Amino acid sequence: MSNLRRVLAALGAAVLSTAALSTITAAPASAIPRTNYCGSAYAFLKSWPILWRNQSGGYIDVYYNSSNGYNCAIARGNDNVLSSVWELQVGIRRSGGTWVMDGDKAGQNFTRYAGPVYVSAPNTCIDLYGSFEASGGGSGQIIESVHCG
């Protein structure tokens, strides 16, 4: 084999090996990516887990708009724990107030995320609600008195 053919064969093998490695080392499935559906004026604050069998089956993400005092919440599933999530639901309220809800509506299954939902709560705390149904069961969780301010 000529030197040129050996070099080309080695390069071809290197390209195939690199492609195989990138396939082998691809990241595993993870939580539905956190995406700000609230709007560009909203800054991410924190995620709270929706617990399922002592694991985070999903998350409630909270965003805040400091210019108008509004909070925003979004619920999303966690693919690392559950292979499929449907009927996601999210809620937000001024602590002790009336819930503003989204998701789990008749005829609509929210499978990627639910929300955004908004509440004006300057100088007070908010409560959050998140739930989902999945193969093997479902879960719902109320998280009280968060983001007080």
pLDDT tens, residue by residue, 67-80: 999 999 999 888 77
Q: Is the dihedral of CA 37, 38, 42, 46 positive or negative?
A: negative
21: number of CA atoms within 13 Å, CB side? 6
Q: What is the mean pLDDT of the chain?
A: 77
51 compared with 63, residue with greater pLDDT: 63
> Is the predicted pLDDT of residue 30 greater than 70, yes or no?
no
pLDDT at 40: 97
Burial code (b: 16+ CB inside 10 Å, e: under 16) for 37-48 equals: ebeeebeeeebb
pTM of the model: 0.74
Encode pLDDT of 1-13 as tens digits. 444 344 334 433 3
